[in-house]
Structure 1
């Protein structure tokens, strides 16, 4: 089963990015940083999601991210699927923070259950087929709408969504061009997928 070890965020200022993520979310080895001046504008075609157990954890992570310099896209609020928020890091990466629970069920924590890389792709079915060909196993699939892959390290997951749907979920326009400024590092090998997302061998 494929393991995703690190998500590398490309940014002009790696020191600032490292400091932001440590202060905002307390993330460590799950993220790496690489200097890049590759041009990019608008929606980069993906979001990063933090999945947590309850609303108070969403509120805590959202608050510290704003204090560290993030820009709020959607305030934390209840919805039919749970409770969540969206914001943009200073490096431009869009993050959502979500819990399937609408009520706290225990003491407040800052524990992150999963990190999900949500790729907004042009053709979900075609990209799903590509990744299956690279050895990834499908754990959930809703036709040509959404796909989630099983990973050996359950902490970092990969999913596919249509580009417009991914942007709508994050609360931003789907328009954008240039570099994704993200590299996925794992044991699936080194390649570039149909939508231009780059993988590197761990």
Structure 2
């Protein structure tokens, strides 16, 4: 059963992807069409396999999903999970040249109009060991729960000026949903900007003030 909680006012303010080639990443994300929703900075921190997170774009229909997949692939991304219909709608997964996984999805199974380049929601999906415990940790940090489905999924309320929402999945479940092996090591290669104090969550994701 879904639950809704409202309490404090802290929130996710920004998402910074750490990339090996900053200029190449800027070109890719500009062509992909999400450059205004993320930040980039250079990093040589070792990282291999599944980094424990993914970025997700929710759009209006299948044609728009395909348009974003095509734009990503043209700019240098690799298709991890071809876009296809599912019981939840339509979607697929691509991997950016910097290694970040992007899920493109819509709840619609049919198009009501032509493809657009409009994004309804951008969501940062964190794969965590214990969704319930990490949810309570974030509530303690001041985030507000918007939706929660037991130990499977939690979504937090977006900040008034943030272009990205935060959501929690089970680590193994997120890897399965994305179509990648669950194992990974090294840096997450991501930093979260918050409206409160700096901290690291139970799974090692770093928040910067």
Question: What TM bracket, shorter-length normalisation?
Answer: over 0.9
Count residues with an aligned counterpart: 200
Please list every run of 5 or more consecutive structure 2 residues that lacks an aligned counterpart in the other structure. Answer: 1-8
**TM-score when scaled to structure 2?**
0.92
CA contact (8 A) 1:113 1:155 kept: no
Show the counterpart of 1:122: 129
Instruction: Confirm whether residue 159 of structure 1 aligns to residue 167 of structure 2.
Output: yes
Give distance in 1, aligned partners of 2:179 and 2:15.
22
Contact 1:2 1:150 in 2 (8 A): no
Of the three residues 149, 173, 177, the one matched with 1:142 is 149
Per-residue CA shift, 1:80-129, capped at 9, x if unaligned? 00000101000000000000001111232110111100000011111111
Is the 1:124–1:145 contact (alpha carbons within 8 Å) kept by the matching residues of 2?
yes
What root-mean-square deviation, in Å, do the aligned CA atoms of Structure 1 and Structure 2 show? Answer: 1.2
> Is contact 1:2-1:151 (8 Å) kept?
no
Stretches of structure 1 that go unaligned for 5 or more consecutive residues are: none
Q: CA deviation at 1:5?
A: 2.9
CA distance in 1, matches of 2:116, 2:85: 19
Deviations 1:119-150 (A, max 9, x none): 00011111111100001111111111111111
Larger deviation, residues 145-154 vs 128-137: 145-154
Superposed, 1:172-183 pairs within 5 Å as: 172-183=180-191
Matched residue, 1:14: 22
